[in-house]
Amino acid sequence: MSEKRIAICPGSFDPITLGHLNIIRRSAKIFDEVVVCVMLNATKTSPMFTIDERVGMVKRAVVRYPNVRVDTADVLLAEYARRYDNAVIVKGLRAASDFDYEFQMNLINKKINPELETMFLTASEKYTFLSSSVVREMATYGADLTGLVPTELIPDIEEKAKLWRKA
């Protein structure tokens, strides 16, 4: 029997975007199982959504993919990946600057966990401009989020943005 191919798609997902979903969907076609890991990012000091809110939104967004599940971690990604045999980290790349950063992270992850492999998927052209920070800023100013985030999450993001703006 062959080994199950597992991908880990990590991110802070604050909030999840259609660009993230594009990478997750494509990973689900390649791998037997995809674990979307909502990570705590120590460098991001004021997330819009709590970790529990982000996990809930990601779960709602990926429910249509039967081989995708959602988890969370507050450890280094390379340490988290040890929970799975032969897991592969899948990262989406929008631009050359993403590659520079993710390549450095790959080297650090390999130093911590030499067995860990990373696979890069280039973003679909229509999502190369899209990031969670762009969505947060647009939401804060009341801009239309259609085509940027899953439709079912727009009301949650708009509501949170109103509260966030007042804070």
Q: Which of 44, 64, 111, 162 is catalytic?
A: 44
Cis, peptide link before residue 155, omega less than 30° from 0: no
With H, G, I as helix, E, B as strand and everything else as coil, classify residue 69.
Answer: strand
CA 75 to chain centre: 16
The active-site residue out of 12, 132, 136, 160 is 132
To the query of whether residue 132 is one of the catalytic residues in this protein, the response is: yes
Instruction: Pick the catalytic residue from 20, 26, 91, 136.
Output: 20
**What is the crossing angle of helices 18-30 and 51-62, to 10°?**
60
Strand pairing category for 33-39 and 6-11:
parallel
Q: Where would I find the beta strands (DSSP E) of the chain?
A: 6-11, 33-39, 68-73, 88-93, 117-122
Catalytic residue among 60, 94, 124, 131: 94
In angstroms, the CA 133 to CA 71 distance is 22
Which residues are known catalytic residues?
A: 20, 44, 94, 132
